Amino acid sequence: MPQNPPPDPEAYARLMADAMGLPLEQADLAEVARNVALAFRLAASFMDYPLPDDAEPAAIFAAREQGHG
């Protein structure tokens, strides 16, 4: 299934910072955008991984307290 191209990393960083009420200084924008672009590339690699149609999600992990069982 073809995926939509990711949005512009700088525009996405600005939009998300605004949505979360986080200050994003112009001096920091380029570095944040680089990390957003990296996250987009990583997400695309996961989306491209072929899974069989009958694949099921993993069970929910619940840590046990130390010393019990």
DSSP assigned state of 49: S
Give the torsion through C-alpha atoms of 29, 42, 20, 10, to 10 deg. 30
Q: Where are the domains of the chain?
A: 1-69
Q: Model confidence at 33, in pLDDT bands (50, 70, 90)?
A: very high
Average pLDDT, the chain: 88
Q: Distance (Å, rounded) from C-alpha 7 to C-alpha 37?
A: 9
CA 26 to chain centre: 22
The whole-number pLDDT of residue 3 equals 65
Q: Distance (Å, rounded) from C-alpha 22 to C-alpha 44?
A: 26
Other beta carbons within 10 angstroms of residue 40's beta carbon come to 15
For the segment 39-57, the average pLDDT, to the nearest whole number, is 88
Residue 69 scores a pLDDT above 70:
no
